[in-house]
Amino acid sequence: MKTTLGFLTEEGRTRSKNAARRISAYAVLMSFIAGASGYGIHSYWVSPDLTPLQRVYFKQYLKSSYRSYLPNSKSRYTTLSAITTDRSNGKDQKVAAIDPMVEPVLDENRHITFDQRHFPIFRLRPGVAAKKLFWEESIAPDANGYSWLRATIYDDQSIPDIWRPAWLGALLMFFLGTIALGSVDALAQRRYLNGQAIRGTREVAPKRYERDHQKDTGYGITVYAQGRTL
């Protein structure tokens, strides 16, 4: 029999627990699917949208982004530098090579090539005046490395900013997928309960009773009277 506070009954609590378990299972499933979707968005959308130098520096930028919060933390950084002439005094100076200055050397498959030290090979763009282009390694505080990479290479974009399409897509996939699976589950449970055998009494409207029993021709009832079966 249905009651206003049916969820407080033993049957209602059991159904609620079972529903919570199924929703939890759907959420776990969608978390894996959302993670795979986020990785796909990063691989096929976010990463191709980065410049060549941004892709080369990305691992260092990712590491420095969380290590910058550690006090006195230092790491080894590999940076691309160029030697140019200072027009004001005519002396040579070392500057950071940025995307407008350089371009990668690609192989026949359009992949970046590497030198003997496994450093990516870049060359100066036409019209850029520089005497030398080289990779150098140094030990620097991670807070300084993060600030330099963010300002010089990534146009003041943080890692969450760069990954925004990936994590937004993953969250959207998670919530929409969980809601969709939960809705399908609720519909399936409702249809199952409608076809379930009735236990005890049930209050129904006359029209509903007539519709449910329109094919019934009668009810067979065994009656015992004066020792005889009717």
115 vs 137: CA distance, rounded Å: 15
For the chain, give every domain's residue range: 6-43+169-214, 71-154
Q: Which two tokens stand for residue 31?
A: 């978390």
Beta bridge partners of 135: 80
Least confident of 40-54, 118-132, 186-200: 186-200
Q: For 24-37, what is each residue's pLDDT tens digit? A: 888 899 999 999 98
Residue-level pLDDT at 8 = 56
At 150-162, the pLDDT tens digits run 999 999 999 999 9
Strand partners, 85: 92
pLDDT, residue 1, reads: 46
Mean pLDDT, residues 125-138 taken together = 89
Confidence of residue 198 (pLDDT cuts 50, 70, 90): very low
Summarize the confidence of residues 214-226 as an average pLDDT.
Answer: 62
In degrees, rounded to 5, the angle at the alpha carbon of residue 178 between the alpha carbons of residues 174 and 180 is: 120
What percent of the chain stands above pLDDT 70? Answer: 81
Buried b (16+ CB within 10 A) or exposed e, 144-169: ebbebbbeebbeeeebeebbeebeeb
Query: Residue 125 and residue 110: Cα distance in Å, rounded?
Result: 17
Residue 204 confidence (pLDDT) = 67
Residues 6 or more apart whose CB falls under 8 angstroms from that of 57 comprise 149, 153, 154
Residue 197 has pLDDT above 50, yes or no: no
* pLDDT per position as a tens digit, 42-83: 888 888 889 999 999 999 999 999 999 998 899 999 999 999
Is pLDDT of 191 > 80? no
- Quick one: pLDDT at residue 223? 55
The average confidence (pLDDT) of the chain is 82
- List beta partners, residue 98: none
Instruction: Specify the long-range contacts of residues 90-99, CB closer than 8 Å, at least 24 apart.
Output: 92/131, 96/148, 96/152, 97/53, 97/122, 97/133, 98/53, 98/152, 98/153, 99/51, 99/52, 99/53, 99/54
**CA distance linking residue 89 with residue 82, whole number of Å:** 18
Check if the beta carbon of residue 230 is closer than 8 Å to that of residue 223.
Answer: yes
So what's the pLDDT on residue 24?
87
